[in-house]
Amino acid sequence: MKPWLKLENVSHRYGGILAVDRVSLEIAPGDTLAILGPNGAGKTTLGLIIGGMLQPVDGRVLIEDAQVSGRKAMIRRGVAIVPEGRRLFTQMSIKENLQLGGVGAGLAKDKVDRRLEEITEILPDTIRGDLSRPVSTLSGGEQQMVAIARAMMTDPKALIVDEPSMGLAPVMVDRIYAVLDRMHAAGVTILLIEQVAAEAMKRANKFAVMNRGRLDYIGENRNHARDALSATLAA
């Protein structure tokens, strides 16, 4: 299948530190790509580049063979991101956070209202029963679900989720991945950035193992990806 998104020799530096080093990969429509590796491997930086929140110092990001640059351009092309730490407005309500996801993407009010009705359906009853609640009253897992729902307000073709299971109880991890499974079943391409790899590896059909900014493995073989990850973590 022809790739929808491509990275060609992408690099990024923070001062003198090379965080992403000449990474090339391809993502086809409908893929679930797991980007795996230890803390500090460059996973988050790579996700921010794909999401348009960081500009690479070298290389190109292409969608449907057209070079794309910047967050607004990525949104127009159908890329949404749930960043590490969620970045919700915790003193605002659930509804207001979801609305901001649409408004921030430049959607008209009527489209925001329609998407709000559609997206609310993916939330568990404990959340959608009262959208006026401040986000600060939610558990960490519930906040993660709201962050995913906020990203989905733009009706994206691809969703990047950075560390969806970090710090959460297993029951909440299961619920979050159930939401992501629904998104994928609806045709959304999923990029999972995970340090704790078990859940992501169950669902992915493609794997990228990163270490010190480079890809130690890229491909579709789950066993090879697991071996590469084990070797990376043991080094």
CATH of the domain at 170: 3.40.50.300
Token look-up 């579709």 returns 220
**Close Cβ partners of 225 (under 8 Å, ≥ 6 residues apart):** 34, 36, 201, 207, 209, 217, 219
Count of CA atoms in the C-beta half-sphere (13 A) of 129: 6
Pair type for strands 5-14 and 17-27:
antiparallel
**Close Cβ partners of 12 (under 8 Å, ≥ 6 residues apart):** 18, 19, 20, 45, 49, 54, 56, 57
Query: What tens-digit pLDDT sequence spans the chain (235 residues)?
Result: 788 999 999 999 998 899 999 999 999 999 999 999 998 999 999 999 999 999 999 999 999 999 998 888 898 899 998 887 778 888 899 999 899 888 877 888 888 888 888 888 878 888 888 899 998 988 888 888 888 889 888 889 999 999 888 777 888 888 888 888 888 998 999 999 987 788 889 899 999 999 999 999 999 999 999 999 999 888 7
DSSP category for residue 48 = H
Q: What pLDDT is recorded for position 36? A: 95
Q: What pLDDT is recorded for position 138? A: 87
Q: What pLDDT is recorded for position 182? A: 87
Q: Given strand 66-67, what is the order of strands in its sheet?
A: 17-27, 5-14, 58-63, 66-67
Q: What pLDDT is recorded for position 224? A: 95
Residue 23 lies in a domain: yes
Residue 45 lies in a domain: yes
Residue 193 lies in a domain: yes
Residue 115 lies in a domain: no
Residue 148 lies in a domain: no
- Give the max Cα distance, the chain: 53
DSSP SS3 for 102: helix
**Close Cβ partners of 130 (under 8 Å, ≥ 6 residues apart):** 94
Residue 105 lies in a domain: no
Residue 140's identity, in one-letter code, is: G
- Number of structural domains in the chain: 1
Q: What pLDDT is recorded for position 100? A: 86
Residue 128 lies in a domain: no
Q: What pLDDT is recorded for position 63? A: 94
**Structural domain span for residue 213:** 5-88+157-234
